[in-house]
Structure 1
Amino acid sequence: MLGGGLLLAVAVVLAALNLRPVITSVGSVLDEMRDGLGASDTWAGVLTTLPGLCFAAAGLAAPALSRRVGLRTAVTVALLCASVGLALRVLNGPFVMLGGTLVACTGIALANVLIPVVVKASFAVRIGLMTGVYTAALQLGGALGSAVTPSLEPVFGGWRGALVSWAALAALALGVWFVATRNEPSLHEASSPAEGKPKRSLLRVPLAWVVTGFFGCQSCLAYIVMGWLPQVLMDAGVSRSEAGLLLGLISLLGLPVSLTIPAIAARRGSQSGWVVIHGAFAISGILGLLFAPAFSPLLWSVLLGLGMGVFSLALTVIALRAKDSADTAALSGMAQGFGYLVAAVGPFLFGLLHDVTGGWTASFGLLLAVVLLKVGFGYFAGRPRYV
């Protein structure tokens, strides 16, 4: 087991910073991209759908890749794909943009699954702390992608330069990762099955499906909120700019939660109580938005943001429910692969219910059901057992 040096911790943080800007940097300049490339709204829809599909597919493929080439090489490939894809996607027309985005999203999807395995292998006695730091960096990267990209346009001569500038961050993460892990030979075997341990499929393990349900429900909640909260708030009379700020506040609330709760929860035998607390915050925020959205949008957003902080806890649970790095890779891949498929359906159903009923009540009923399922799955996933 590795000692988990400072340089490796920096490499993990830099990798995490790259796992969202490839997605969030697009949203702030999407209209300019579409017009500049002469693309259609259908093309824009495909572009914004690619990340979720990659997360699901690569999540299922990452454990096999890690077993075949080793954890260090697998993460290197992931960061290389992110760097190359980010650089290539702005070089030509709409199809090159789709191709480059596909390559970049494949890389970050692989890293999504593999970085928690690195934490398990290299920071075994600090799983909660490092998971919190990793999650905070991931959320910070997402916030920077959406907030900073517009201001980079005048610096780099337009949206192409602004988008390609994120390739530099990915290249930096790749370089630091390569240096930090060159003297860590055990990372080559971090996700290999333990000696004498028979190969098995977690698809037959009930606890693995419970963890997958927990991760899927929390991801579904996050996708719905990120996609629909501004519209809900604007329908309640909140201005467009204020609605955007409130959504940003929800993202920022994840930082202190990620830096504190996982480290505390990991020191306890069970994490079920923390899941229930997060669920209570989320339910309170949802009920406020449903019955009195104009009363205090700030309060409801804060409560919802605290409830969505369960993402870092879900990643911690994945590491804690596995005995070794091989099981961590398999469980992380299963939970994220199937979980993101569940998450992709949520925003569609939320919007469909709104279109069919003409109001938000049925949509919020769906959201409450998702949170209750999340609490149920999370309660049992948080109990001290192993897959």
Structure 2
Amino acid sequence: MSNIYTEQRTLRAAQRHAAAIFLVALCLRPAITAVGPLLGQIGAAEHLGETLLGVLGALPLLAFAAVSPLVHRVSGPLGAERAIFVALLLLAGGCVVRSYTGAPGLWLGTIVVGTAIAVGNVLVPVIIRRDYASHVSRATGFYTAAITVAASAASAVAVPLAAATDWRAALAVWAVLALVIGAVWLPRARAARAAAGQTRLAEEPAHPSVWRQPAAWLITAFMGLQSTTFYVLVTWLPTIDTDSGSSAQAAGVHLFVFQVLGIAGGLTIPLVLRRSASQVTGAVVACAPMLAGVLGLLLAPGLTVVWAAVAGLGQGACLVVALSLISLRGRTHRETTHLSGMAQSLGYLLAAAGPVAAGTLAEHTGGWHATLVLLAALAVTQLAFGALAGRRRRAAPAHGAAGPELHAART
């Protein structure tokens, strides 16, 4: 009887453990995705033109790029759990500063928000890799589903919240979510011992820097390209849609479909990853819908809702594949952290440039045809890099003196 009780208690503890990780995921997008629908109000209140509003929207992605490769310097001394707790507190503070400290605070708070989220972006996949080594893709699917649900919900409620209060409160409210989830995370942060974490890292074998590993660059390229195609469509799909004859209301619905279908894609792709000996099949299956969706927008724009749904399935699946590759290819927790930082740093830097380049191309050509052709080319390139990154490779020798390839593992 005591053994049964112990097993049940262990199971409940594991469930709480898992829930805490996915609750953290709920904080990693709302403070960003709530801004887009409110840009008009922010610009009117702070006297910002479209160019500065575009920079404001890109700042979190630029913060991701700048901070991601440095996260390991924080997570080493603190431990991943404590670093995430500090990031949640920073996120809450950034949301308040952004809303209530005037024009300088708007910019500073946005940078703090992006910095805090970057820490979670890098470390949560590392924790998933550590705690769910035999179910990485499945756990990553649930993690990305939580991110997508929270991001979509924040976009949907931003305008109604602002109408009931004002834009400042509609953005600051996400500080409450960060604090509540921080309180839930606190026991886990307390239980994690920084000294023990440092000991484990010290005992890990040394490996070549991920910046010198070809496999890491393949993963980084895949991460960057999937982020770019996603952010280009999130930014410009409504405009492309209305230019082809849809109403503004229909365009908003189509964007919602694009984002929500990402949940289904993210939850389905782990089934493909588990059944293949490598991640090549998963990468190809994930990228194909994105390519099909973009080609559909180019060749049959009257069926935008169909192509939005198809591309949405692809974007959700591609994110899971990218994060799974990061988790599976690292040979140690430290290497996984460095790989996550590298892939997300360069990946989000490319993503930040994508919408700007797409808009500039459309402006100079007088339409969206050239932009969609470019997006299709990016989708093809993304598929190629995904197939290359997904190939199984031999692990490097234990001493790390040769074989600079990251290893592959079954999902």
TM over 0.5: yes
Query: Could you tell me how far apart the structure 1 residues matched to 2:85 and 2:372 are?
Result: 41
Query: Residue 157 of structure 2 is aligned with which of 148, 153, 162?
Result: 148
Q: Which residue of 2 aligns with 1:62?
A: 71
Query: Could you tell me how far apart the structure 1 residues matched to 2:223 and 2:196 are?
Result: 27
Q: Which residue of 2 aligns with 1:111?
A: 120
CA deviation vs aligned residue, 1:70-111 (integer Å, no higher than 9, x gap): 212211221111111112221131111111121111100111
Query: Residue 21 of structure 1 is aligned with which of 23, 27, 30?
Result: 30
Unpaired segments ≥5 residues, structure 2: 1-9, 396-405, 407-411
Q: Which residue of 1 aligns with 2:248?
A: 240
Paired residues, number: 384
Query: Could you tell me how far apart the structure 2 residues matched to 1:373 and 1:39 are?
Result: 36
Q: Which residue of 2 aligns with 1:359?
A: 367
Query: Residue 229 of structure 2 is aligned with which of 212, 221, 228?
Result: 221
Query: Could you tell me how far apart the structure 2 residues matched to 1:300 and 1:322 are?
Result: 35
Q: Which residue of 2 aligns with 1:298?
A: 305
In structure 2, do the counterparts of structure 1 residues 121 and 287 end up closer, same or farther at CA, with 3 Å as the change threshold?
same
Q: Which residue of 2 aligns with 1:183?
A: 191
Query: Could you tell me how far apart the structure 2 residues matched to 1:210 and 1:152 are?
Result: 42
The yes-or-no answer on 1:75 pairing with 2:84 is yes
Q: Which residue of 2 aligns with 1:32?
A: 41
CA deviation vs aligned residue, 1:290-346 (integer Å, no higher than 9, x gap): 12212x112111221122121112111111111221111011111000111111222
Residue 376 of structure 1 deviates from its aligned partner by 0.8
Query: Could you tell me how far apart the structure 1 residues matched to 2:199 and 2:150 are?
Result: 26
Identity score, percent = 38
In structure 2, do the counterparts of structure 1 residues 187 and 23 end up closer, same or farther at CA, with 3 Å as the change threshold?
farther
Residue 266 of structure 1 deviates from its aligned partner by 4.1
Is contact 1:285-1:303 (8 Å) kept?
A: yes
Query: Could you tell me how far apart the structure 1 residues matched to 2:60 and 2:342 are?
Result: 17
Is contact 1:121-1:190 (8 Å) kept?
A: no
Query: Could you tell me how far apart the structure 2 residues matched to 1:93 and 1:329 are?
Result: 36
Is contact 1:262-1:316 (8 Å) kept?
A: no
Query: Could you tell me how far apart the structure 2 residues matched to 1:47 and 1:361 are?
Result: 27
Q: Secondary structure at the match of 2:104?
A: helix
Query: Residue 281 of structure 2 is aligned with which of 273, 297, 301?
Result: 273
Query: Could you tell me how far apart the structure 1 residues matched to 2:312 and 2:368 are?
Result: 20
Q: In the alignment, residue 358 of structure 2 is paired with which amino acid?
A: F
CA deviation vs aligned residue, 1:249-278 (integer Å, no higher than 9, x gap): 111011122223225514643121122122
In structure 2, do the counterparts of structure 1 residues 33 and 349 end up closer, same or farther at CA, with 3 Å as the change threshold?
closer
Is contact 2:98-2:108 (8 Å) kept?
A: yes
Q: Which structure has the bigger radius of gyration?
A: 2
Query: Could you tell me how far apart the structure 1 residues matched to 2:272 and 2:131 are?
Result: 19
Query: Could you tell me how far apart the structure 2 residues matched to 1:328 and 1:240 are?
Result: 43
Query: Could you tell me how far apart the structure 1 residues matched to 2:339 and 2:362 are?
Result: 35
Residue 199 of structure 1 deviates from its aligned partner by 5.2
Q: Which residue of 2 aligns with 1:95?
A: 104
Query: Residue 169 of structure 2 is aligned with which of 156, 161, 164?
Result: 161
Q: Which residue of 1 aligns with 2:14?
A: 5
Q: In the alignment, residue 220 of structure 1 is paired with which amino acid?
A: T
TM-score w.r.t. the length of structure 1 is: 0.93
Query: Could you tell me how far apart the structure 1 residues matched to 2:170 and 2:368 are?
Result: 37
In structure 2, do the counterparts of structure 1 residues 358 and 269 end up closer, same or farther at CA, with 3 Å as the change threshold?
same
Q: Which runs of 4+ in 1 moved over 6 A?
A: none
Query: Could you tell me how far apart the structure 1 residues matched to 2:192 and 2:15 are?
Result: 13
Q: Which residue of 1 aligns with 2:131?
A: 122
Is contact 2:266-2:313 (8 Å) kept?
A: no
In structure 2, do the counterparts of structure 1 residues 348 and 383 end up closer, same or farther at CA, with 3 Å as the change threshold?
same
TM-score w.r.t. the length of structure 2 is: 0.88
Q: In the alignment, residue 14 of structure 2 is paired with which amino acid?
A: G
Query: Could you tell me how far apart the structure 2 residues matched to 1:364 and 1:264 are?
Result: 28
The yes-or-no answer on 1:326 pairing with 2:334 is yes
The yes-or-no answer on 1:380 pairing with 2:388 is yes
Is contact 1:282-1:303 (8 Å) kept?
A: yes
Unpaired segments ≥5 residues, structure 1: none
Q: In the alignment, residue 222 of structure 2 is paired with which amino acid?
A: F
The yes-or-no answer on 1:201 pairing with 2:199 is no
CA deviation vs aligned residue, 1:23-62 (integer Å, no higher than 9, x gap): 1111122222222234444442332121111110111111
Is contact 2:33-2:151 (8 Å) kept?
A: yes
The yes-or-no answer on 1:370 pairing with 2:364 is no
Q: Secondary structure at the match of 1:124?
A: coil
Is contact 2:269-2:286 (8 Å) kept?
A: no
Q: In the alignment, residue 238 of structure 2 is paired with which amino acid?
A: P
CA deviation vs aligned residue, 1:198-245 (integer Å, no higher than 9, x gap): 253111100000000110110111011111111111111011111111
- Pairwise CA RMSD: 2.2
Q: In the alignment, residue 14 of structure 1 is paired with which amino acid?
A: L
Query: Could you tell me how far apart the structure 1 residues matched to 2:22 and 2:352 are?
Result: 26
Query: Could you tell me how far apart the structure 2 residues matched to 1:273 and 1:199 are?
Result: 28
Q: In the alignment, residue 304 of structure 1 is paired with which amino acid?
A: A
Query: Could you tell me how far apart the structure 2 residues matched to 1:36 and 1:206 are?
Result: 48
Residue 180 of structure 1 deviates from its aligned partner by 3.0
In structure 2, do the counterparts of structure 1 residues 380 and 336 end up closer, same or farther at CA, with 3 Å as the change threshold?
same
